[in-house]
Amino acid sequence: MTNFLTGALLRAALVAAAALACGGSMAQTQPQPLPTRGELLYNTHCIACHTTQMHWRNNRQATDLKGIETKVRRWQGVAGLAWSDADIMEVSRFLNITIYKYPQTGEILSRDVRR
């Protein structure tokens, strides 16, 4: 009787383990693209306000890449984040790719940005 119970428990545990392993490997076959640094920074520090701002996309203030960068620099300052030029560049790029879609020019959003 004890042996039978132990066997049944063992089988149940094995089935559960197999199901787990299976689920795990299935999740791995559909890898999500890694978010960029700019996306991570923006989603962490900036998105909370903007999702409640209905008009910021329609009544946009940033009218070119330089404008985006100026705004990003201003807002990271407002939030007291002390981002580096590289961080500001990454987030500006992320916003341009996802929202503004302005043509990307060579010299813009470089590290050589005006303060």
Size of the site for ligand HEC (CB under 6 A): 19
61 binds ligand HEC (CB under 6 A): yes
Kindly write out the interface string for residues 34-53 of this chain, putting x where it contacts ligand HEC by CB under 6 A and - elsewhere.
--------x--xx--xx--x
72 binds ligand HEC (CB under 6 A): yes
Tell me the closest approach of the beta carbon of residue 115 to ligand HEC, in angstroms: 16
Strand spans (E) along the chain? none
Report how far residue 113's alpha carbon sits from residue 115's, in angstroms, rounded to the nearest whole number.
6
Tell me the closest approach of the beta carbon of residue 11 to ligand HEC, in angstroms: 54
75 binds ligand HEC (CB under 6 A): yes
Burial of 56 (0-12, 13-18, 19+ CB in 10 A): middle
Decide: 38 and 94 in contact? Cβ < 8 Å: yes
94 binds ligand HEC (CB under 6 A): no
Report how far residue 55's alpha carbon sits from residue 108's, in angstroms, rounded to the nearest whole number.
26
Report how far residue 110's alpha carbon sits from residue 38's, in angstroms, rounded to the nearest whole number.
14
For ligand HEC, the binding residues (CB under 6 A) are 42, 45-46, 49-50, 53, 56, 60-62, 68, 71-72, 75-76, 79, 81, 91, 95
